[in-house]
Every structure is written in structure tokens, then in C-alpha cells.
Amino acid sequence: MTTALILVPIGGALWVWIAPWRSARSAGGLALLVALAELALWIGTAFNFDFSDQGLQLQQQQSWFTDLGVSYHVGLFDFSLWLVGLTAVVTTAAIGYGFWSQRARPAGYLGLILFLEGATVGVFTAQDLLLFYVFWEAMMIPLYVLIGVWGGPARLAATVKFIVYTLAGSLLMLVAIIALGLKQGSFDMFEIGRGAGNTWIFLGFAAAFAVKAPLWPFHGWLPDAYRESPPEVAAILSGVISKAAAYGFLRIALPSFPGSISDLRTPILVLASIGLIYGSLLAFRAPDLRGVVAYSSLAQMNLIVIGLFAVNDSGVSGALLQMINHGLISAALFLTAGAIERRATTGDLRLLGGMARGRPILATLFITTGVIALAVPGSSAFAGEFLVLNGIFTRGWGWAVVGAVAMVLAAMYVLRLVSAVLHLDPGSAVPDAALDLRPAETSVILPLVAVLLVLSFWPAAITDHSFGGSPSKAVPSGYRHIVHEGNLP
Amino acid sequence: MSNFQSPTIDWAALSPELILLGGASICLVLTLFLPWGWRRPFCAAVAAACFVGAGAAAIVLFVMDDAGRAVIVDAIRRDRLAEFGQILVAGSGLLAVGASFGWERNERDRIGEYYALLLSAAAGMAFFVAASNLMTLFLGLEWFSISLYVLTAIAVAWLPSLEAGLKYLIVGSFGSAILLFGSAFVYGATGAISFSGIAAGAAGADHLLFVMGLALILVGLGFKMSAAPFHMWTPDVYQGAPTPVTAFMSAATKVAALIATMRLLVTAFPSEARLWTITLAVIACISLAWGNIGALVQTDIKRLLAYSSISHAGFLLIPIAVGTPLGGRALLFYLISYAAMNLGAFAIVAARERELARPLTFDGLAGLGWERPMLGIAMSLFMFGFIGLPPAGLFLGKFYAFSAAIDRGWTWLAIVGVVATVVSIYYYVGVIGAMYFQRPVEVRVAPAGGSPPRDVGLSLTILLAVAVTVGSFIVAQPLLDIARHSVSFLGFPH
């Protein structure tokens, strides 16, 4: 089952690439069908999933090469199930949007997005360090091509920056993986966490995750990559790929390096706090639509890292909930941004404005997403951020103050964005004839917002169904299963 | 002289070399009696058949031999390490024939010679990897080197080819001379030329003489494997030589030189292991630095791949330098996909050169990915693979090489490798960027005229290279077992 979740999109990608298409429409249609099939497969998996079981489910293991103890080992934890679901939902929306906006060379384009989906699901399910690394690198290749071929005018510089940053991080992770794997004689993730790791190895892993998330100050690639990507690629990049980094912290760093985590908690929290405030301030100052979303994404990822490094029930659960929230929010915002840029041919906020008048669907969806993004009480983002702040409060009230300040800043940049786009006088770049969201656009953005609304009413859908569904204990018990009892800092 | 006993000769052990030399003779002689039109297909078929035959003979020997043994009074060894090298050389030769077929129509007058030299170079390498004393080592080295000098200059009507041939001849002879000089020192110190004799005589040897000999031999071998700082010839020769020759040279020479180096150091100089391990590690670092930095500023693709080859000499020296069985396995496994990827990449360069009828630069690559999607995907695979990304076997090769370094406790060497890899990303992805990211309106590439040539030989070569590259990633275990069997009898110093 888990293997099927990986192979359906990858096989679909190959099919889309190889089949001789008569028209762009049929290639796009097939890609969309594959994405929907993956989503259906995930829903089926979720229904068959035993949320009371804390351990690894639906696992599969096959030896790859023996002398270093590497195997193809995949499986799902309850928290990875949610991230796989996020991947399936966001990718489906992105493919729908890409299909509708008729990109050039659709077979190559949509096939690469499907391949990316398969690799990402692989990252979320791999239980072997080398396999994890393989999927991790496999995520980067399609992203590189997607930005480089279909990106904006400054795409070449953006791709080089992106690939050098991320590969530099991930190669350090490779060294760490080798060092760790050789030390314990096996690359299986269940073998790590027995205290084999030292701080250098932890830093190797942290380098890869910090670049990909990104944690301040490793975010140099982020603004260019988010601005130059096609909107649906930016949606995946910020919605899903950044979560792979947070997942890496959650699945590998926290359980395996308890000593390093408690030693390095303060420096990492300092970096994340700076990133949170810095990202929020830049989002407030950014001159363009995508810049605001990109920097807010930076801020949110740093908040998630803060929650993870609280390493307690509330912080980790909140971080997971916030990963799902932010994935959906930023995907919805980037797709909406794409729709707006399509109409105004620019994302420059000075040239936008007044788009609400006569465009009720755009205005409603945009404001709803924005309000959830600024974590208004009652929204799912509020639930997530509250849990994160509650978790980090126990580590020191100062961190929680930083988080609370960032929530205020979030309100400022989101409201600025909403008013600059929707309200004020009609911008010079907004033609009067610019249409409201077309049905096709609505049909990809609306589901994302709908899921967010459902989660706002019922955030426990995720918090009660992850880490073995026992949030009352000090440490999530499902998580404890990975951590090897009593090993947690 | 009357009591001279002629040695018994194990002809089976020599079968790969004999098959290749036989093919060379056929190409050279029989071709003269054929009508012009038949010569190309005939020679190509003979060469391909001989490479397949030599490879098959080596495989049979590999399966039969479980312990190594001496051949012709220990002049060469018949063991799995040699046979592994011979299989790789024969495979490289086969792919090189595919890459040559179609190109040599410009060299109609020299068809027989071309294939004969290709076969003889491969035979020299097959002999070289089996060499078990300093004389045969030198003999094998000169044998394949002289063939390659001529092959480099074979396009006599094209000035860069002649220039490259001359450069290669001068610098290569210089390297060979240094190797010979070093051999003389070692012989002077120990009184032995066989590898085992040197190891046995090392204890009572004049230490200074002995170490100087070792150093000179390493320099001579460094020339052949194009490790920095002995790499000066590489970019010029790779650029000037006809592309199919470059393809063969870049893959097979490296295989032969590295395997012979490992055998020599491990069997003849175990007493100086402390010295040569650290020396090779330093050479590896220099190669990684020089190759990668040099590659950053190249615009010609063949030159770029030449610098990439220098940097990979660095990566390949890491597993030898650590001097452990894990390192030995890593080297051999690395070589499999490295040879295939080099041949494939140069074959794609050759394909584009034939289309444009001029040397290939970054501008010449523009649009290749979209015009010829299969070539584009293959080239992307090779470039991502050279960086060390899945799904290329080289990823596991690098993984093993770094593992060997870390296992030995030389994490710093692995870190140097990682830093070099990060630098290399820039130019490897630059190639992919040139193929895909340039929009047709931005760069105008005019083909030489007519529709692009569809060379079956080239396509098959690239297909095979892709198959080996991806195959060595997926079915890693059997290949690792083969690598393990190939080095299991060597007494590594660590």
C-alpha cells in the first residue's frame, strides 16, 4: 500500500512522458486523473489506518545491498499519513491549476509535478536513511527543471541559487548519514536513536533540513525561487517541500539526537525566532504579492521549527497541525496570487488594488485564506500556533513572547496584503475587464480553503489522530515508540 | 644460454588480449582486400565482436578463478581483479565502437587502422591491469599509450587532432619515462621487479632509494589517470581528440590506470602504506580542487568533461587512499557506472557535433533537450549522476567512497569530497540548463544542414550507457558482490 502511494505518481509521470499525445488536453487530463487516483488511494489508506496503533503501519521491507545494511523500507506513521495527504491534496490542486493555465509542453510539465509528488511521498514514508536521502534528492531534480524551464525571467539565477543551497545542505546530510550508518552498522531508521549519534552528525542532518525549510539565515534561495516559479510550483514548494524539512526534524533529528537537541536547543530557537520576526517584517515590507507570501512562509516555517524544538506534546502536535495548515494556506495563496497575476500581469502591490469590486469569488476566497493565515481565533492556524506557543512556553516564556509578537505581525502583513490587492482604489494594472475567478480556478482553490475551514472547526481531526492519539501524556506516545522510551530530552 | 627453460604459458589467461589482438590484425590486414563500401561495417563488426568476445572470455575466467595465480613466471596475474578490469575495458571498447560508427566515414582512408588501434589499445589495457611486475607494468602502459597517441591524432586533416596527439605524445612519454625511472630506483633498492619480490625485499632496501622510486612511479601513474597536478595534458587532449576516441580514453584509461595503481600499491608497497595512503589522499584533494575549479570557467563541453574527469580522478583516488577492503570495493563499483556515464556523455557530445558540424560549446547545446528528448534525458541523467544524484549508480559509488573514507576515520577526506561536489553542481547543472532553459528565441543554433543524422550505433551506445548507469543503481548488490570477489585476495594495509 505504501509502495503504491509512491509508485502511482511516479508511474503516472512516466506514462504521461512517454505516451504520444495528440493534444495538450489529453496529457493534462491524464496527469489530473493520476493525481486524483493518488488522492483516492490516500483516502482509502486513511480509512484503513489504525489510529490507535502508535507504530509503523503498512510497512514493507526489501534488502537493497547487504554489506552496509541498506534496505528498501517504507511505512507510515500516523503523522506521516497526514503529510502524505497534504502532498496529495496540494499536488492535485497544482496539477489542476497547471492544466487549466495551459503551460507550454504540458506532458513534461505535469509529468515532472507527478514525479515530484512520488518523491515527496517517498520522503514521508522512507524508513531507511539512504532511501530517505535518495527520495530527498529525487525531489530536487524535478523542482530544478520546473523552475528552470517554466519559471519567470530571472529563473536561471534562481535555479542555480536553489540547487547550490539545497545540495550543499543535503550533501552534508549524506556525510552524516554515512557516519551514522557505519557507526551502527545499519541504515534503518529504527536502529538510530540508540545514542549512536553525536553533535556533528546532528549538525549534518540539521544543515539539510535548515536549508530546505528554510531556517534563518539559510533562506537565501527562497525569495528568488518563490518569485520565479510558476505559481503552482511555488504552491508545492512552499506548501509541501518545506514540510519535508520539518518532517526530517520530526522523524530523524528529534528522536535520534536527544543530547544534541538539548545542547543546541537555545541556538536553534534563537535562529528560528530571528527568522520568525525577520520573515514577518520582510513580509510586511515586500513590494509584491508573491514576496509577501514567500516571506510569510519563511516566518511560518520558523514557527513550526520552534514548536518542534519545544519537544513536548503541545509543541510537536501544534507543529504538525501548523505544517498541514500552512501547507494548505500557502498553496491557496500562491494559486490565488497566480490568478491575480494572470489578470494584472504583475504582482506589484502598488499597481494592484480594488479587485474586490465585482469579483466576489476572488475576494471571498482570498479574504478567507488571509484570515485563517493571520490566525484569527477559531481558525485552524490559531489552534496550531496556540499549541506551538503553549509548548514553547514551558521551555521559557521569552520564546512565547516572540511567537506572540509574530502573530501580531502576521495580522499586519496579511491585512496589508488583502487591502493592497482587494481594496483601495483600483490599481493601474488592473483592467476593468479583469474577470472574477473562473470556475476552473475556483474548483482548485476552493477545496483547499474548504479543508482549511473543516480543520478550523475540527483541528482535533489531526491532533487527536497523530502520535497515537494520546495528547494528554507529556510525550506523544506514538512518538515515544520511535524515540525508544525515555530517550527524549 | 643452453639451459634456458621456456616458461609454460597459460594461454587461457591471455585469451582476452589475444582475442583483441587477433581482431586488430584482421582489421588491419583483411580490410585491404575489401571494397571501400564494405570496410566500415566490416571493421566495426569485427571490433564489436572482438570486444564482446574478450569481455566474454574475461567473464568466463572470472567465474572460473577463485584464487589468483601467476602466469608466465609471474609476469602477469590471472585473478579476478585483472578480469574485472578486462571486462570493463572490453565493455568500454564496445561502447566506443558504437560511438565511432558513423563518425569514421570522414576517415575512410584509415578505417582499418582506426579499429585496429582501438582494439590494440584495449589489449594493452587488458595486459596492464594484469601486470605483476614492473616490466610488464611498463610494457602494458606503453602498449596502450602508443595506440592512444596515434588514435588521438588520427584525424590528420584536422589540426587540433594533430596538436592534441603531439601534446599527448610528449607529456605521456614524459610520464612513462618517470615511471620507468622510478622502477629502476625500486629495482636498485630491492633487487626485484616482481610486485611480491619488491614487498619481500623492502625490509632490507635502501630506504631513500626505495621511497624515491615509489614516488616516481606514483607520478608516472598519476599522468595516466590524469590526477592533478599531473593532468596538464587532459583538457587539450580530450578536446582535440576525435570525440569517440575521447570517450574510450576517458573511460578505459581511467579504469586501467586506477586498477593497476591499486594492485601495485597494495601488493608491492605494503611496507610504505603510511606514506602512499596519505600521498594519494593529498593528490585526491588537489585533483578535486583543480578539476572542479578549472571546470567552472569552461565553455567547450569536451574541455568541461575533461576537467570533470580530473575531479573524478580525485573521487576515485579516495577509496584507494584509504587502503581498506571497503575502499577496494568502492573503487571497482564506482568505476562501473563512471565508465558507462563518461562514454554516454561523450557519445551525446559526438551526436550533437555531427549535427552541428563544429565543436560543441554551451551555446551549441541550446534546445538539445527539446529537439531530441531522449538525448536530453540521457544527458541530464549523466550530469545529475556525475554530481552524485540518484538514480545513477555513481551515487552509490560516491556513497561507498565516502563510506570508505569515514570508515577509515578520514572524515575530513569525505568532507573535501562533499565540498568538491558542491562546486561541481554549478557546471554540471549548467549543461542541463543550457539544454533546456534557453528558449529558442534566445539562442539561435543552426544545424549543419538537413535533418539531424540518426546513427544507430550512437543511439545504442547511449542506451547501453543509460542501462548500465541506472542498472548499477537498482541492482547494486550483485555488482558489489562481484567487486568484493575481485579484491578479496588483496592484502589491504588497513
B139: contact with A, CB 8 A cutoff: no
Q: Nearest CA of chain A to the CA of B407: how many Å?
A: 7
Q: How confident is the model at residue B445 (pLDDT cuts 50, 70, 90)?
A: low
B357 found inside a domain: yes
Which pLDDT value is given to residue A196?
59
Contact B426 A149 (CB under 8 A): no
Could you tell me which residues come within 8 angstroms of residue A182 by beta carbon, excluding any fewer than 6 positions away?
A68, B403, B406, B407
- Which helix (H) or strand (E) segment holds residue A71: the answer is strand A70-76
Region B350-360: mean pLDDT is 86
The H-or-E segment that residue A25 falls in is: helix A24-47
Which residues of chain A are within 8 Å of residue B329 when distances are taken between CB atoms? 67
Chain B positions touching A201 (Cβ under 8 A) are: none
Which chain B residues contact residue A163 at CB under 8 A? 425, 429
A175 with B477: Cβ contact below 8 A: no
Residue B182 in grid coordinates? 622510478
Answer whether B270 touches A (CB < 8 Å).
no
Contact A66 B477 (CB under 8 A): yes
Distance of residue A30 Cα from the nearest chain B Cα, in angstroms: 20
CA dihedral A410, A413, A415, A419 (to 10 degrees): -170
Contact A141 B389 (CB under 8 A): yes
- Cβ pair B407:A175 closer than 8 A: no
pLDDT score at B305: 95
pLDDT at A192: 66
Distance CA A109, CA A31 (A): 10
CB contact under 8 A, A178 and B414: yes
8 Å CB contact of A167 and B384:
no
Percentage above 90 pLDDT, chain B: 65
pLDDT band at B297; cut points 50, 70, 90: very high
Q: Do A159 and B484 touch (CB under 8 A)?
A: no
Size of interface A-B (CB pairs under 8 A): 82
Domain assignment present for B469: yes
**B403/chain A closest Cα distance in angstroms:** 6
Assess whether the previous peptide bond of B452 is cis (omega < 30° from 0).
Answer: no
**How far A66 CA lies from chain B's nearest CA (Å)?**
7
Query: Using one digit for the tens of pLDDT, what is the confidence trace for B108-130?
Result: 788 889 999 999 999 999 999 99
| Chain A contact present for B324, CB below 8 A | no
Residue B389 touches partner A, C-beta closer than 8 Å = yes
Residue B424 domain flag: yes
Write the residue in B329, B389, B425 that is nearest to A164 by C-beta.
B425
| Residue contact B476–A66, C-beta within 8 A | no
What angle is formed at CA B116 by the lines to CA B114 and CA B119, rounded to 5 degrees?
110
Tell me if A134 and B390 make a contact (CB, 8 A cut-off): yes
Cross-chain residue pair A164–B476, CB shorter than 8 Å: no
Residue B451 has pLDDT above 60, yes or no: no
Report the chain B residue with the minimal C-alpha distance to residue A184. B407
The answer to whether B390 faces chain A, any CB pair under 8 Å, is yes
Whether B1 maps to a domain, the answer reads no
Of B368, B375, B88, B440, nearest to B252 (Cα)? B88
**pTM for the full model?**
0.90
- CA distance to partner chain A, nearest, from residue B404 (Å): 9
Residue with cell 515586500: A286
Cβ-based neighbours of B13, under 8 Å, separated by 6 or more: B61, B71, B76, B78, B130
CB atoms within 10 A of CB A185: 11
In a domain, residue B263? The reply is yes
- Record: contact B429-A168, CB cut-off 8 A: no
A163 and B403 within 8 Å at the Cβ level: the answer is: no
Q: How many CA atoms lie less than 13 Å away from A218 in the CB half-sphere?
A: 25
Q: What's the confidence (pLDDT) of residue A262?
A: 81
Closest Cα in chain B to A65:
B477
Domain tally for chain B?
A: 1
Interface contact B425-A163, CB threshold 8 A: yes
- Kindly report the number of other CB atoms within 10 A of residue B90's CB atom: 28
Contact criterion met (CB < 8 Å) for B422 and A167: yes
Measured distance CA(B352)–CA(B204) in Å, rounded: 58
Per-residue pLDDT at B204:
82
The pLDDT of residue B427: 92
Q: B424: Cβ–Cβ under 8 A, 6 or more apart, which residues? A: B292, B295, B308, B311, B386, B387
- Cross-chain residue pair A174–B399, CB shorter than 8 Å: yes
pLDDT of A423 reads 85
Using a CB-CB distance cutoff of 8 angstroms, which residues of chain B are in contact with residue A65? 396, 476-477, 480
C-alpha B183/C-alpha B198 separation (Å) is: 11
pLDDT at B442: 55
Mutate to test the interface with B, among A174, A177, A221 (most CBs of B within 10 A): A174
Residues from chain B that touch A67, judged by Cβ atoms under 8 A, are 329, 480, 484
For residues B191-210, give the mean pLDDT: 89
Judge whether B112 lies within some domain: yes
Which of A137, A168, A175 minimises the CB distance to B414? A175
d(CA A89, CA A328): 8
**Contact in structure between B17 and B127 (CB atoms under 8 Å):** yes
Query: What is the rounded average pLDDT of the residues B33-59?
Result: 92
**Which residue on chain A is closest to B478 by alpha carbon?**
A65
Note the Cα A352 to chain centre separation in Å.
Answer: 28
Let me know if residue B2 belongs to a domain.
Answer: no
Q: Do B436 and A148 touch (CB under 8 A)?
A: yes
Alpha carbons B439 and B426: distance in angstroms, whole number: 20
Nearest to A182 among B329, B403, B484 (CB): B403
As averages over each run of 10 residues, the pLDDT of chain A (489 residues) reads 89 86 80 93 90 79 83 88 94 92 86 94 92 92 90 86 89 89 82 69 91 88 90 92 92 82 88 93 91 93 91 85 93 92 86 85 92 88 90 87 90 91 83 84 91 89 72 40 42
Whole-number pLDDT of residue A120: 95
Predicted local confidence at residue A489, as pLDDT: 41
**Pairwise CB contact (< 8 Å): A182 & B395:** no
Q: What pLDDT is recorded for position B440?
A: 55
Q: Which residues of A sit within 8 Å Cβ distance of B? A: 63-68, 105, 130, 134, 137-138, 140-141, 144-145, 148-149, 155-156, 159-160, 163-164, 167-168, 171-172, 174-175, 178-179, 181-182
The predicted complex's ipTM stands at 0.86
Domain of B230 in residue numbering reads as: 11-487
A265 vs A281: CA distance, rounded Å: 24
CB contact under 8 A, B421 and A64: no
State the number of CA atoms in the 13 A half-sphere of B307 facing the CB. 20
Model confidence at B441, pLDDT cuts 50, 70, 90, reads low
Distance CA B394, CA B382 (A): 9
Position B74 scores a pLDDT of 82
CA distance B390 to chain A (A): 6
Of A137, A155, A179, the CB nearest to B411: A179
